[in-house]
A and B are shown apart, each in its own frame.
Chain A
Amino acid sequence: MTKKENFLKGFIKENPLFVLLLGTCPALAITTSLENAFGMGIAFIFVLVMSNTIISLINSFKKLKELIQPVRIAVYIVIIASLVTIVEMIMQAYLPDLYNSLGVFISLITVNCIVLGRAEAYASQNTVSDSVIDGISMGLGYTLALIIISLIREFLGNGTITIWGDLQINLQGVFEFLHITPISFFTSSAGAFMVLGIVLAIMQAIKNSKDAKEKEAKKQEKEVK
């Protein structure tokens, strides 16, 4: 796998949320506004990149790798938990509004399957630079997924799109034009499930049609031969 492929895989091919279906819990809970998705994404990228770096660094020393082998999961969790706590403390000090709206889900990054999964499955077996790229790719892919879900939910549920703080795009005119009110169902957790389901279905449909096309192309090639 080249570095470019490694970087691009997190966006669509191995998107942690849409394809691997990891980390759905915060994705459903905090995607009520675009600002939350941004904040969660930034916190998540920081934790993932740092944990991937540190864990691949530890595993690059053979002796240390052997030493921590029996307790490696515990070591990983200690590292991830302290990184998350650092993010939490910084956010509470400098971004209190975001901290309040994300609430308990910042601390829950610790038990997010993506972070531990990447540490165990990728960072512990690859070089430091590859792990960093993997962290950035997976983090950006997850953020992209959060942004897509939150855009749909905030627009349909509130008729607004909050970019950051007071910077807000008001799109309620669209609803007024159609003579309906925003569908507040989409701000509830049931609406989140529905949006995730629809997006997954669309992704699957695109993938299926691509596969079918490939199959047909192969068939034609055979016939020509």
Chain B
Amino acid sequence: MKKNLITGLVLSVFALICGLLLSVVNMFTAPVIEARTEEKINNSIMEVCEVYKNNKDTYTIDKESIKHDEVDSVYLVKDENGEKVEVIYVVSAKGYASTIQMMISVTKEHKIERSVVISSAETKGDIKTHDFMMDGKDSLADFDKLSGSTISSKAVRKCFYTALDLSYEDLK
């Protein structure tokens, strides 16, 4: 009995030392990882939102005011007077082999400005470079699916639908 107790104690001591070591390393790497993710999101915002890219000094991005259950995050683009100009959604939907995450910007006229696939590990078809013909459209009528990747295309379509739907509520 006593022997077992000592063995268990030794194992937990090892686990404790390893845990401490891991937390020390995590302390150093966590801020770097966070900064990198932030930078990636900022770059994607520049890519989908033309007005913000051109007026970086006067326009602001509001990151926290709106939260929806359907989307991962919402960024409101405001001009110098605080008027809402555009809304950018980060939406994810389940595709064929992975979860597709997209960033979609919607203008004040409820038209999609641009979209970019942030992450996907789909095995069939290249949805990252395919043009879904949605830029400047206000409905899904012209959605051009990627042939051969029906399920991935359905997920992308769902992302667009969610973004368009929510924009009526957010850009009031």
Contact = CB atoms under 8 A, between A and B. Distances in A.
Contact of A70 (B7, B14, B18, B22): B7
Given A67-B10, A71-B10, A74-B11, A85 B32 contact: no
B6 interface: yes
B141 interface: no
A176 to B, nearest CB: 23
Interface in B1-24: 6-8, 10-11, 14-15, 18-19, 21-22
Kindly state the interface size class of chain B when it binds its partner: 10 to 19
Interface string B39-80: 000000000000000000000000000000000000000000
Q: Is chain B's interface secondary structure helix, strand, loop, or mixed overall?
A: helix
A78 B15 CA distance: 6
A79 interface: yes
B18 A89 contact: no
Contacts of A79: 14, 18
B36 interface: yes
Contacts, number: 48
A178 to B, nearest CB: 26
A82 B29 contact: no
Interface string A3-42: 0000000000000000000000000000000000000000
Interface string A125-140: 0000000000000000
Interface of A: 67-68, 70-71, 74-75, 78-79, 81-82, 85-86, 89-90, 92-94, 96
21 contacts: A67-B7, A67-B10, A68-B7, A68-B10, A68-B11, A71-B7, A71-B11, A74-B11, A75-B10, A75-B14, A79-B14, A79-B18, A86-B21, A89-B22, A89-B33, A90-B25, A90-B29, A92-B29, A93-B28, A93-B29, A93-B36
When A and B form their complex, which 5 residue pairs have the shortest distance between CB atoms, in order from nearest? A82-B18, A93-B32, A93-B29, A89-B29, A71-B11
